[in-house]
């Protein structure tokens, strides 16, 4: 039998003062109402702020209140100004002091040598503008790449001055220092509770108002990143990032059945694809500076927050092992050059090249990555590659953007023809591919600045599916040689294997000219924005010629290369596709050694031996003989010297 204690009386009113309820006895003294002994009178009232149903989260309100108090305190502090200049081999390091929560970020700046650093430090790679979470709130679907690029114009004023960089503030050497909100969050995620951290942050360690110092620091950037212990890539807050990181780490353990089952429990296939897509849409992947920051790093750690991080190899595994189903029609996130998956593949190859001590010489990589990247200053689309190439252009933020683009391309053309052949052991086909990639990336219909038509304009982003290159991500085989153009070359061979040297003439700084050989195929007589009677499609191959590639047939059939292009007809009955802006009187030409034909606009003047043209764009011609080199092979004697201006 179970013994049950007698029930206590409900009433606490007793006639006998000694007969006291046990709840008021010594064993229950914490409930005493007496003012003597143990009581609650000396304790302050504290509301635990536990939320009721359907009420706001008091924790969030409390954090916001503390943040406002912190910002108010910083608003009364004198603004920071740089009192020294970082020159020679020296650069600044940020000493991030310990702290937690909403306490102000407190940093001291010290100098270090880029050649022989005495301290171990890290570098931070992040996105200056929109944070990951803010970007997720603004965008949806699978067209994030173009939307990230469209943000460039709206955020170009950010970082215009050191004290006007953003709407957040920290302490630097005891003074108020304005930073972007995303950097503030990154620093809070890195800050330790008890230990200091040495870290290089471009927004703080470089005087952004001093153009001379900016240029000098960019010139030693390769040493700063190579000497760092690691580079921390802060992607920002992303919902569900914990599960994605867990999946990435465990998926590297192998493909045994037990591991596969465990991975499905972490993230089912559909949720996994959605999570990867959301990650690849983050603005960090579209920033131009992250390319060199990652490629030059000895070790890369990708972070979503204080406890959520993975390696670059984990990221590569996610993108490689989870393919994207081909889309019907034009998809910007897959069919544009420099899409995020392709960027990761190219960057990974460049990382391998840098670890082998080889400065990459492939202009195709620079063009694809830089033209698809965002930069507050357009000069950075060149200078960000300074430590990774053999370019002799010294970073100078006072020079004109058009002049910089012209100098870089002239340098590359001369180097590929003369120097790189010996230095980098480039084969003749590799040199041809790199030179032709310059021309296919140029054209006056793809320029914002007034440049010679054969000079690419890095401010004009890719907006049409390319004909001269593939946009798929070559993630399975990452070569370390400078053969990106060969592995990502299109199926077309319009110009055959024969090529004459490209020669830069009239070495005028503002308007150099390029001499090359081409076959003038035909003149355009009509253009149309609608499909003509003869819908462009690869013609059946003639006897003895290569069959039509399934890739080519798919491109035309699903409308990928049709999207955004204008139809044209020629005098000889050819039908084709080109960039809007062509008109009657333009000519279709085949460049010897090129992959696809181009559209040229004749100009008055020039000698009989070399007519003047403006390069407009690449084009597609509905003819197997034209697109696969039969015409170039049989009529190469018709080739003539032309001059592009």
Mean pLDDT within 496-513: 80
* Cβ atoms 422, 371 nearer than 8 A: no
Neighbours of 612 (CB within 10 A): 17
* Cβ atoms 253, 259 nearer than 8 A: yes
DSSP one-letter code for 230: E
Stretch among 36-50, 54-68, 242-256 having the lowest mean pLDDT: 36-50
Distance CA 380, CA 370 (A): 9
Mean pLDDT within 582-586: 96
Written as six digits, the tokens of 142 are 């699978």
* Better-scored residue on pLDDT, 114 or 29: 114
pLDDT score of 51 more than 70:
no
Sheet with 106-113: list strands edge to edge. 175-179, 168-172, 106-113, 90-96, 197-200, 122-125, 230-234, 300-305, 308-311
pLDDT at res. 280: 93
Mean pLDDT within 293-314: 92
Burial 283-318 (b: 16+ CB within 10 A, else e): bbbbbbbbbbbbbbbeebbbbbbeebbbebebbbbb
DSSP one-letter code for 620: E
Mean pLDDT within 352-367: 76
Distance CA 352, CA 347 (A): 9
Question: Within 13 Å, how many C-alpha atoms sit on residue 370's CB side?
Answer: 24
* Cβ atoms 586, 599 nearer than 8 A: yes
Residues counted in the chain:
645
> What DSSP assignment string belongs to 132-176?
HHHHHHH--SS-HHHHHHHHHHHTTTTTSSGGGS-SEEEEETTEE
pLDDT score of 258 more than 70:
no
Cut 0.85: pTM above it: no
pLDDT score of 231 more than 90:
yes
Mean pLDDT within 100-116: 92
Q: Which of 229-233, 384-388, 508-512 has the highest mean pLDDT?
A: 229-233
Mean pLDDT within 605-612: 69
Q: What is the pLDDT of residues 426-468, one digit of tens each?
A: 777 788 888 999 999 999 999 999 999 999 999 999 999 999 9
pLDDT at res. 156: 36
Question: Predicted confidence band at 227 (pLDDT cuts at 50, 70, 90)?
Answer: very high
pLDDT score of 78 more than 70:
yes
Mean pLDDT (the chain, rounded)? 80
pLDDT at res. 299: 94
Mean pLDDT within 523-533: 81
Torsion angles phi and psi, residue 409, rounded to 5 = -70, -40
Classify the phi-psi angles of 251: left when phi > 0, otherwise alpha if psi is within -120 to 50, otherwise beta: alpha
């Amino acid at each position: 039998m179970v013994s049950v204690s007698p029930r206590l009386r409900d009433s606490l009113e007793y006639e006998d003062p000694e007969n006291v309820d046990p709840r008021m006895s010594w064993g229950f003294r914490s409930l005493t109402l007496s003012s003597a002994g143990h009581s609650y009178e000396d304790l302050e009232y504290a509301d635990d702020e536990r939320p009721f149903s359907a009420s706001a989260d008091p924790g969030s309100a409390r954090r916001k209140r503390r943040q406002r108090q912190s910002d108010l305190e910083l608003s009364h502090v004198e603004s920071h100004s740089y009192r020294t200049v970082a020159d020679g081999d020296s650069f600044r390091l940020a000493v991030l002091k310990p702290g937690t929560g909403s306490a102000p970020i407190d940093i001291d700046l010290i100098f270090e040598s880029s050649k022989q650093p005495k301290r171990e430090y890290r570098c931070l790679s992040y996105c200056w503008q929109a944070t990951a979470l803010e970007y997720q709130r603004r965008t949806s679907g699978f067209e994030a790449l173009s939307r990230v690029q469209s943000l460039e114009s709206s955020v170009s004023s950010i970082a215009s001055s050191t004290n006007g960089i953003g709407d957040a503030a920290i302490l630097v050497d005891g003074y108020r220092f304005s930073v972007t909100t995303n950097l503030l969050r990154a620093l809070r995620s890195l800050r330790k509770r008890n230990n200091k951290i040495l870290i290089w942050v471009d927004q703080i360690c470089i005087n952004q108002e001093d153009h001379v110092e900016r240029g000098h620091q960019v010139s030693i950037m390769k040493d700063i990143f190579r000497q760092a212990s690691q580079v921390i890539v802060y992607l920002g807050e992303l919902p569900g990032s914990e599960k994605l990181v867990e999946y990435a780490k465990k998926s590297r353990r192998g493909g045994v059945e037990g591991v596969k089952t465990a991975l499905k429990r972490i993230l089912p296939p559909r949720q996994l694809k959605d999570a990867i897509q959301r990650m690849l849409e983050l603005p960090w992947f579209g920033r131009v500076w992250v390319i060199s920051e990652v490629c030059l790093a000895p070790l890369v750690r990708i972070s979503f927050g204080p406890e959520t991080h993975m390696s670059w190899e984990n990221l590569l595994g996610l993108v490689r092992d989870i393919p994207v189903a081909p889309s019907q029609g034009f998809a910007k996130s897959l069919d544009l050059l420099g899409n995020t998956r392709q960027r990761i593949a190219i960057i990974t190859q460049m990382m391998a090249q840098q670890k082998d001590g080889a400065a990459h010489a492939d202009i195709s990589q620079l063009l694809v990555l830089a033209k698809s990247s965002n930069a507050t200053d357009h000069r950075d689309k060149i200078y960000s590659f300074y430590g990774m190439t053999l370019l002799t252009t010294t970073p100078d933020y006072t020079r004109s953007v058009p002049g910089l683009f012209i100098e870089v391309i002239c340098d590359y053309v001369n180097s590929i023809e003369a120097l790189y052949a010996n230095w980098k052991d480039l084969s003749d086909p590799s040199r041809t591919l790199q030179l032709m990639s310059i021309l296919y990336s140029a054209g006056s219909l793809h320029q914002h600045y007034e440049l010679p038509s054969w000079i690419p304009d890095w401010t004009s982003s890719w907006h049409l599916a390319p004909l001269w290159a593939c946009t798929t991500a070559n993630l399975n085989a990452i070569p370390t040689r400078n053969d990106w153009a060969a592995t990502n070359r299109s199926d077309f061979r319009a110009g055959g294997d024969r090529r004459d040297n490209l020669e830069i003439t009239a070495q005028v700084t503002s308007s150099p000219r390029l001499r090359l050989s081409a076959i003038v195929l035909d003149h355009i007589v009509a253009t149309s924005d609608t499909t003509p009677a003869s819908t462009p499609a690869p013609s059946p191959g003639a006897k003895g010629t290569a069959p039509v590639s399934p890739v080519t047939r798919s491109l035309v059939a699903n409308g990928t290369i049709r999207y955004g292009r204008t139809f044209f007809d020629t005098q000889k009955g050819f039908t084709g596709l080109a960039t809007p802006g062509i008109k009657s009187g333009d000519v279709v030409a085949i460049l010897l050694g090129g992959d696809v034909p181009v559209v040229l606009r004749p100009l008055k003047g020039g000698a009989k031996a070399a007519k003047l043209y403006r390069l407009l764009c690449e084009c597609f011609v509905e003819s197997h003989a034209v697109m696969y080199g039969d015409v170039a092979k049989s009529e190469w004697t018709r080739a003539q010297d032309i001059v592009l201006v």
